[in-house]
Amino acid sequence: MSEKKVNTSIHKYEESLSVSAEQITLRFNIDNVHDFRTSVKKMRALLRWLGSSKRSLTASFTAIYHLSGELRNAQILLKDPATEKEELTGFRHWLSARVTRLEEEWYKKYDPRILRRLRKKIERASYKKANKRTIHQFFRKRVNRLNGILIIPSPPDEDLHDVRKILKDMQYVYAWGEKNELIDKGPTGEILKEIGHQAGSFNDRRIAIQLLSTYLEEEKPEGPALAALLETKQKWEEAKEQQKKELIATLKGFEKAWELRKLSGNLK
């Protein structure tokens, strides 16, 4: 696969980033934030696979990317039916205020020049060849990382968040490899997508608990409101633990299938 074709793909993601970033600035729609973050993940996966630099993104761009993540987390939780209960009105108001603050922070931090600097850094970088050998190495390295995390019977929640990132990298590189005929058509891409969704649901619940805990620490609600919040927090924690068990079981099944070449065979 020629370097020119790789550059073309990366530049398409750069263009998509510019459009979605401007859309966020005009209107902080949850879909615009999602599109921006998805474009970043797709481009970053290619850069992690073929780029020569460990830090493929600039510090200023990484800052607004992380900011978009905080914004997305609060937006997602505001849409959760569980937060619509009357007893959780105070928490919803707190989340709304958090969204407003993050939007204001975006206005302060975002500047089109950030994307132009990112584009220049990417254009100056050198890339490995996109071929069957390098794509297999990419997947083998990430499966090894999964193996390392799953050695522990119940990995820390943060490690499972890293698993989600690994799966996203694999999913997007796999899709790119299929499109460019570096990988034979097979079920692996859809499997990666499904497991990534499962890992994402677990992480959303983890973040929801963190935000609720922060609210309890900062606002110190009392009376019936506190009782309702603590009950909600307990339910979320129980749901998270069940999701964690199911996710670990899914990941171990994926790991075993990969080692048996049931999934990795079409990478050869």
Banded pLDDT at 233 (limits 50, 70, 90) = very high
Which two tokens mark 33?
Answer: 């934030």
Is the pLDDT at 224 greater than 80, yes or no?
Answer: yes
Is the pLDDT at 149 greater than 70, yes or no?
Answer: yes
Banded pLDDT at 86 (limits 50, 70, 90) = confident
C-alpha pair distances (Å), 76 with each of 179, 209, 246: 31, 13, 22
Provide the residue ranges of all domains of the chain, joining segments of one domain with +.
1-128, 131-268
Is the pLDDT at 203 greater than 80, yes or no?
Answer: yes
Is the pLDDT at 268 greater than 70, yes or no?
Answer: no
Banded pLDDT at 10 (limits 50, 70, 90) = confident
Please report how many Cα atoms fall inside a 13 Å half-sphere around the Cα of residue 8, on the Cβ side: 8
Global pTM reads 0.90
CATH number for the segment(s) 1-128: 1.20.120
Q: Residue 210 has what pLDDT?
A: 97
Average pLDDT, the chain: 91
CB atoms within 10 A of CB 217: 8
Q: What is the pLDDT of residues 20-78, one digit of tens each?
A: 999 999 999 999 999 999 999 999 999 999 987 778 899 999 999 999 999 999 999 99
CB 134, CB 49: distance < 8 Å: yes
Q: What is the pLDDT of residues 246-266, one digit of tens each?
A: 999 999 999 888 887 766 666
Q: Cα-flanking dihedrals φ and ψ of residue 169, to 5°?
A: -60, -45
Torsion angle of C-alpha atoms 135, 9, 17, 183, degrees rounded to 10: -30
Q: Residue 9 has what pLDDT?
A: 81
Q: Residue 181 has what pLDDT?
A: 87
Q: Residue 266 has what pLDDT?
A: 63
Banded pLDDT at 129 (limits 50, 70, 90) = confident
CB 92, CB 84: distance < 8 Å: yes
